[in-house]
Amino acid sequence: MYLIKLEAPDFRPKYFPEGMSVCHIGSGSDVAAYEQTVVEFFDMHSPTLQAATAGPAAWAQMLGNSIGRLVQDDPRDGISPHVHIQVCSRGDFNAGDNNVTRVYPDGRRIEFRMPQVASTQTEFIALCKSMGKAAATATA
pLDDT computed for residue 122 by the predictor: 83
pLDDT at 22 over 70: no
Residue 30 identity: D
pLDDT digits (tens, 9 = 90+) for 70-118: 888 999 888 888 887 777 777 777 777 888 899 999 999 999 898 888 8
pLDDT at 40 over 90: no
Residue 88 identity: C
Contact 3, 21 (CB under 8 A): yes
CB crowding 111-126: b at 16 or more within 10 Å, else e: eeeeeeeeeeeeeebe
Q: What is the mean pLDDT of residues 50-55?
A: 78
Cα diameter, the chain: 51
At 68 the three-state DSSP class reads helix
Q: What is the mean pLDDT of residues 44-50?
A: 76
Q: Report the relative pairing of strands 92-97 and 84-89 from DSSP bridges.
A: antiparallel
Contact 65, 51 (CB under 8 A): no
pLDDT computed for residue 21 by the predictor: 54
